[in-house]
Structure 1
Amino acid sequence: MSLAGCKRAAEPVRFHAQGQPQNLSEWHVVESDGARLRLNEGVEPYALNTALFSDYAHKLRTLWLPPGSKARYHPDEAFDFPVGTIISKTFYYPRGQNGSVLRVAERVEESLDGLDLSKVRLIETRLLVRRDRGWVALPYVWNEEQTEATLARAGETVPLTLHKPDGSAKQEFAYMVPDENQCAGCHATNNTTREMHPIGPKARHMNREDPWHPGENQLARMAALGRLQGLPKQGVPFNARLDDAQATVEDRARAYLDVNCGHCHSQVGPADTSGLWLDANTDDARRLGLCKPPVAAGQGTGDHMFDIVPGRPDESILVYRMDSLDPGAMMPEVGRSTVHEEGVALVRDWIAAWLGSCSNEDTKVATK
């Protein structure tokens, strides 16, 4: 079942094999009447275990495959989706008072009738479209009436005021809608081929209970619907949930770094030459940053000596860059205009639990 409920778009989803449609409505993936944002027939929502941070924005993620087609399972990389696939991600905020938006932890809207636009403010919807020649990224920005989103090839800046629910911690910032080059900068996950690929739709991110169908696993349901082939009966990897109090700090921190940094900081990613690999498959402590001097980081080091100093997060470059808004130091370089305080705190706790000293050449990672 899609989120469309009993109200469905008059026209089916339309895949555009060429061109760049100016309006989001030309795709018929999501439809807004100004009161609700609904998903079209055959458009399935999905959730991730731990999500990419984007200035505290919430996201409605969807997947549409051409009827009769299937994605091919891969244990580590993004699934191999057929030509005609449309992945959408709608960024929105809970509404606050006087035009502000609320800073609350991202949560999944589990309603089968879409998003109530009296309670949320839509910002943008990004499409990732699989065409014959590969993936294409198209960002669409919503109008004030919340009835249509228009293509923003050059990106756009949306001024926002962010409040905590109790009205405290007022923060004015510029939400940045990425341009086409910035989209490619993140989604070109292989530095050799420079081909664009999805980031979120991977086994370890999607292997979780389906929020819209309690008791069902997302991947198992996808396979049962005939949209995923090759899913093994057991041994499917999974990342920890950021909000899972039962998971260890290490597992949650590694999951956070994987989804936020690992698509770039990996053995094959755009930051491969940095020597700092933060993807889920890296288990070498040195590659994770333990007592590793930076490579061509410039002012991004904050005068710190090592990416990670065991037990000393304040002396670690990784924490410094995550906690910075300096364009020459902040990481990630794009995709945020604020600091994810909860994410920084988690990584700080992870590093604080490491034992050893960078003055000891035989230092080995250990956790409490």
Structure 2
Amino acid sequence: MRLIAMLSLSALLAGCAQRGTPIAPEPEVTLLDNPTAALPEKISQTGLYDDPLAETPDRRIIPYTVRYALYSDDNDKSRFLFLPPGSKIDNHDPQHWVYPEGTLFFKTFYLTAMGNHGLPLRKIETRVLQRRSTGWQVGVYQWNSAGEEAFLTDGSEIRFSFSLPLGSYVYTIPSRLNCLACHQPQKDFIIGFEAIRLSGVAASNGGDQLRVLAARNIFMQPPADSPVDIPGAPLEAAAIGYLHGNCANCHNPHSPVFSTTGLDLRYAYLKQSTINVRPEKYASGDTALVRIKPGRPEASLLFQLLARTLPDSTQFMPPIGTSRVDTAGVELIRRWISSL
């Protein structure tokens, strides 16, 4: 009887101890844990950030940046990659990297158009590209004003205006169709994550970013030991890089645009496709223009499209994704054409 009482007391004390010990909650399962699942309703459920306000990415996320970045009305961006554990990018074909199922790309946009002027950075949207067995999926998340959470949009275009120190500005969150219009002409669907744009950028440790990424064992084949660069003098390399980064996503042989223009603005083919070349088809009907007239930017169709000086506003380039002229980019192209 005494033994039974002692056992009962021990069990009671153990139960009290267990009740008094806080039990850690089970970690929430996010998209990073199951990267081919349906895109969740909230950005917090993707696992991108450990702390959305501090913008601390999950340890499994790989931050990266690009040179020759796509102009987006001077708005800032942050870029992230996730690869499932043990998987690698097939980079044997330098023009066509193949991504494993479960790959996730994240890009967050910040409102900095028309100058920051001391205003805090504000997250506007995060775009997500997800590689499934059936192909790529696209999702766009709109951040709340506090920057604490973002919610998956229904895929339609969203426009809203901001009052900024230099005037009002209309920001456009793209529709799913607009996202596909830019990404589908790519052989691998992804824009920007390529050797020429990852190389030549200093990583946080001071090394070349492409080499640092390779050291993380994310590629099947080690990239070149030296940085990948566009040949030519600095001005020409910068101008060709700018056009490659801002225009080649549409103007390449894999795009339906190519069948009507024949224009290839990938850096390796740009000069032969533009200098002293008359456009095969052009809606304005002005056959006097050539794509690039050496020494004469004002007589170069490509320059006029970027500067938006043509009377037909439907011919502005790029046609989507921007509402303002990239004055710095236009000046770069003007200087390059003038130097030819």
Normalising by structure 1, what TM-score?
0.76
Normalising by structure 2, what TM-score?
0.81
Tell me how far 1:211 sits from its aligned partner: 3.1
Deviations 1:23-62 (A, max 9, x none): 22221112545x4222112101101122110111111111
Q: Which residue of 1 aligns with 2:13?
A: none
Tell me how far 1:121 sits from its aligned partner: 0.7
CA distance in 2, matches of 1:22, 1:332: 31
CA distance in 1, matches of 2:152, 2:262: 37
For 1:292, which of 272, 277, 283 is the aligned residue?
Answer: 277
Q: Which residue of 2 aligns with 1:48?
A: 66
Unaligned runs of at least 5 residues, structure 2: 1-26
Q: Which residue of 2 aligns with 1:103?
A: 115
The residue correspondences of 1:114-153 to structure 2 (distance < 5 A) are 119-152=120-153, 153=155
2:307 aligned partner, one-letter code: D
CA distance in 1, matches of 2:59, 2:324: 36
RMSD of aligned C-alpha atoms? 2.7
Tell me how far 1:275 sits from its aligned partner: 1.8
For 1:309, which of 284, 293, 307 is the aligned residue?
Answer: 293
For 1:237, which of 188, 206, 228 is the aligned residue?
Answer: 228
Matched, 1:281 2:259: no
2:240·2:270 contact (CA, 8 Å) conserved in 1?
no
The residue correspondences of 1:255-266 to structure 2 (distance < 5 A) are 255-266=241-252
Where 1:352 maps in the other structure, the secondary structure is helix
CA distance in 2, matches of 1:247, 1:15: 47
Identity %: 29
The residue correspondences of 1:1-368 to structure 2 (distance < 5 A) are 13-33=32-52, 35-74=53-92, 76-94=94-112, 102-103=114-115, 119-152=120-153, 153-161=155-163, 170-190=166-186, 197-214=189-206, 216-234=207-225, 237-239=228-230, 248-273=234-259, 274-282=261-269, 284-285=271-272, 287=273, 289-299=274-284, 305-324=289-308, 327-354=313-340
Report which of the two has the higher share of helix: 2
CA distance in 2, matches of 1:352, 1:231: 39
Distance 1:146 1:329, change over 3 A: same
Distance 1:171 1:343, change over 3 A: farther
Distance 1:264 1:201, change over 3 A: same
CA distance in 1, matches of 2:50, 2:159: 23
CA distance in 1, matches of 2:313, 2:138: 24
CA distance in 1, matches of 2:202, 2:93: 19
Distance 1:320 1:311, change over 3 A: same
Unaligned runs of at least 5 residues, structure 1: 1-8, 95-100, 105-117, 164-169, 241-245, 355-368
* Equivalences, count: 308
Deviations 1:320-353 (A, max 9, x none): 1112296511111111011100001101111111
**Larger relative contact order (C-alpha < 8 A, sep ≥ 6)?**
1
Where 1:72 maps in the other structure, the secondary structure is coil
